[in-house]
Structure 1
Amino acid sequence: MSLELAGGVEQRLSDSAYVERVYRAGSVAGPVAARMRSVANSNWELVVWCDRGETHVSVRGPETGPTVLELGPGAGETLGIIFSHGAFLAPMPVPALVDTVVSSPHTTARSFVLQGEEWEIPGYDNAEVFVDRLVRAGLLVRDPLVTDVLRGDGTALVTPRSVQRRVVAATGLTQGAIRQIERARQAVLLVQQGMPLIEVAQSAGYHDQPHLARSLTRFTGRTASELRRGDGDEMLSLLYKTDVEVRP
């Protein structure tokens, strides 16, 4: 596993086939932004956070557009488990979670309720233990075909219609929507690294710079110049390179 520290967020890869990444924020010293801009995201995640001494747990579905969250002065540490494409909660279909947040009906500092059962709140270092328990309980399942398809691997034994149906069932999004979102997220990373926009467009698989500009506005709510310049009062949600094949 690798550890990274960026933008006040500590994150790591996971060796679980069900987990894309684990992150935590609020435990790293540094200036606190007034708000967070959540960039469109094709994965769903489980989020645990503290606000004014109270613990909250939510399942956050894929997001097809940007949202802005005001960060109050009482906000504490946040933990997130980002699940891999193809992994989903069997009793909670992902298509119904798109652009939606479902909160646990009851939480304490140590436990929360999910699907009528009480679970111990996971930590940054033992998130995979929690995930394994979900798998053993039959709540968390995985369609490996979806992971392979989005990585660009062949699916000669499955019809295109069947592939599309399984991708939507497991992710809540079409292959096209996932690739568009992931392309935009990768473009943001390149823009922030200072790469010339014409090279960003070529590297991320856009037709031209206007195509790139429209995508950034749609999925981040910011222009390339605004993303490059940054905003001291606003932080972007977690961005990272994925294995999704984004080129057409």
Structure 2
Amino acid sequence: MYVERASRLPGAVVWSRTVEDPAAGPVQPVLPDGCMDLLWNEGRLLVAGPDTRAYVPEGAPSRWAGIRFFPGTAPTFLGVPAHELRDRRVDLADLWPAAGVRHLTARIDAAPDPVTALEETALERAADAPPPDPLLRHLVAALDTGRPVAATADELGLGARQLHRRSLAAFGYGPKTLARVLRLQRALVLARDGVPFAETAARSGYADQAHLARDVKELAGMPLGELLGRAG
């Protein structure tokens, strides 16, 4: 069962997932969304970097808790450029001092609610971290409405190279990939609401339904119809 709610940490949500029955059905892949997650998994703290392709969880059924950071906000919290974590799941102890991570892990393990304990940890860390680049939050908002990358860069007063460099550090990839990922997420919202695929493609910013189908297959690793079936 998956549950999420808005976090007390601005620009984040907290979530939990408990998998009890491995025979309940196919595993739902984690799709690219521009976000990064701080994860707790029964005695481990990990970081999920920004994905450019679907990630299929492996291993035995277990309990998870996580904080999902709004695109571009996790690197300052973690102290690591996003491109170093692209398409990776790494132990937090590889990024922060191991002794401190062991202490945090023990505290979360012992808490009645790992989700709340993980959120408290994030709030404490965020209080001492520099703020995210505010310009890139505007970039996300603009691209998520379907604005072209070049026009958005001009509006923000950024050259192409500068925008690409700052995007790599904040999102893990360039602005064109970010725009593509955000477009995929817009399409999935519509398709899951029952909007016909052709209309979903048009409203999301794809050239046509075939373009939508190709992009979903490449980013999600399966056709849109199969992906929606798994979500059920």
TM-score of the superposed pair, with normalisation by structure 2: 0.77
- Measured at CA, do residues 100 and 157 of structure 1 come closer, stay the same or move farther in structure 2, by a change above 3 Å? closer
Letter in 2 for 1:200: T
114, 124, 134: which is aligned to 2:96?
A: 114
82, 85, 109: which is aligned to 2:68?
A: 82
Give the match's secondary structure for 1:47.
strand
| Shift of residue 34, structure 1, vs aligned partner | 5.1
Greater shift after overlay, 154-163 or 19-28?
A: 154-163
Letter in 1 for 2:186: Q
Letter in 2 for 1:84: F
Residue 153 (structure 2) pairs with residue 158 (structure 1): no
- Measured at CA, do residues 157 and 175 of structure 1 come closer, stay the same or move farther in structure 2, by a change above 3 Å? closer
Give the match's secondary structure for 1:151.
helix
Letter in 2 for 1:146: L
Q: d(CA) in 2 for partners of 1:37 and 1:85?
A: 19
Q: d(CA) in 1 for partners of 2:62 and 2:58?
A: 13
Q: CA RMSD in A?
A: 3.0
Aligned partners of 1:44 and 1:62 also within 8 Å: yes
Residue 110 (structure 2) pairs with residue 124 (structure 1): no
Aligned partners of 1:42 and 1:178 also within 8 Å: yes
Q: Which residue does 1:92 correspond to in 2?
A: 80
Residue 131 (structure 2) pairs with residue 145 (structure 1): no
Q: What percentage of residue pairs aligned between the two structures are identical?
A: 23
Residue 181 (structure 2) pairs with residue 189 (structure 1): no
- Measured at CA, do residues 157 and 147 of structure 1 come closer, stay the same or move farther in structure 2, by a change above 3 Å? closer
Q: Which residue does 1:12 correspond to in 2?
A: 5
Q: Which residue does 2:202 correspond to in 1?
A: 202
| Shift of residue 100, structure 1, vs aligned partner | 1.1
Give the match's secondary structure for 2:40.
strand
Q: Deviations over 1:65-121 (max 9, x none)?
A: 11322352xx33211111122221453221110011111449xxxxxx933424243
Unaligned 5+ residue runs, structure 1? 1-7, 107-112, 237-248
Q: d(CA) in 1 for partners of 2:13 and 2:191?
A: 22
Q: d(CA) in 1 for partners of 2:165 and 2:57?
A: 33
Aligned partners of 2:83 and 2:172 also within 8 Å: yes
- Measured at CA, do residues 183 and 115 of structure 1 come closer, stay the same or move farther in structure 2, by a change above 3 Å? farther
Aligned partners of 1:168 and 1:174 also within 8 Å: yes
Q: d(CA) in 2 for partners of 1:20 and 1:63?
A: 17
Letter in 1 for 2:114: G
- Measured at CA, do residues 38 and 225 of structure 1 come closer, stay the same or move farther in structure 2, by a change above 3 Å? same
Question: Number of matched residues?
Answer: 211
| Shift of residue 193, structure 1, vs aligned partner | 2.3
Q: Which residue does 1:135 correspond to in 2?
A: 126
- Measured at CA, do residues 90 and 28 of structure 1 come closer, stay the same or move farther in structure 2, by a change above 3 Å? closer
Letter in 1 for 2:181: I
Q: Which residue does 1:21 correspond to in 2?
A: 13
Q: d(CA) in 1 for partners of 2:137 and 2:92?
A: 28
TM-score of the superposed pair, with normalisation by structure 1: 0.73
Letter in 2 for 1:43: C
| Shift of residue 142, structure 1, vs aligned partner | 1.4
Give the match's secondary structure for 1:37.
coil
Q: d(CA) in 1 for partners of 2:46 and 2:116?
A: 19
**Structure with the higher helix share, 1 or 2:** 2
